Amino acid sequence: MFTNRPGCTIYEKTTINRAPAFIRHITGPIYWEPSIGITVSKGETDGKDRAEQNSIFVSVPSASVTYLPKTDDRIVGEIINDESPPVTAHTVMNVKDLRYGSPKVQHIEITAR
């Protein structure tokens, strides 16, 4: 599979002693594609009902998977050593496990905002 980054950092959202916490996971090479967009409500021209629809698409080859993320985890497009996610981290919205079929195309897909 085609990759364009050496890896990413995923912060698993969990609870330790009834307090929110994050566990850091690092992947191998990945494909990272940002998407920038905006949604305008029908009939609005004054700009009040515009909402950003920025998102991130990440494809992680099967060989690079170290942890299967879940909704509400955080993801950063580079390998960092911080124990908690930075404010620039994206929230995982959807994960598709596509690790079946030919070993050359097995991967997981992550969509984040």
Residue 96 is assigned to a structural domain of this protein:
yes
> Hey, which bits of 6-98 come out as E strands?
9-16, 19-26, 31-35, 38-40, 50-52, 55-61, 74-76, 90-98
pLDDT per position as a tens digit, 26-73: 999 999 999 988 777 776 566 567 777 789 999 999 999 999 999 999
- 3 assigned to some structural domain: no
Could you tell me if residue 108 is inside a domain?
A: yes
Q: Mean pLDDT over residues 14-34, rounded? A: 95
Q: Tell me whether residue 21 is in a domain.
A: yes
Question: Quick one: pLDDT at residue 43?
Answer: 64
Number of separate domains in the chain: 1
Q: What domain range includes position 93? A: 9-112
User: pLDDT at residue 74 above 70?
Assistant: yes
User: Greater confidence, 46 or 23?
Assistant: 23
User: 2 lies in a domain?
Assistant: no
Would 4 be classed as within a structural domain? no
41 assigned to some structural domain: yes
More reliable by pLDDT, 49 or 104 = 104
pLDDT tens sequence across 78-90? 999 999 999 999 9
Q: How far is CA 94 from the centre of its chain?
A: 8
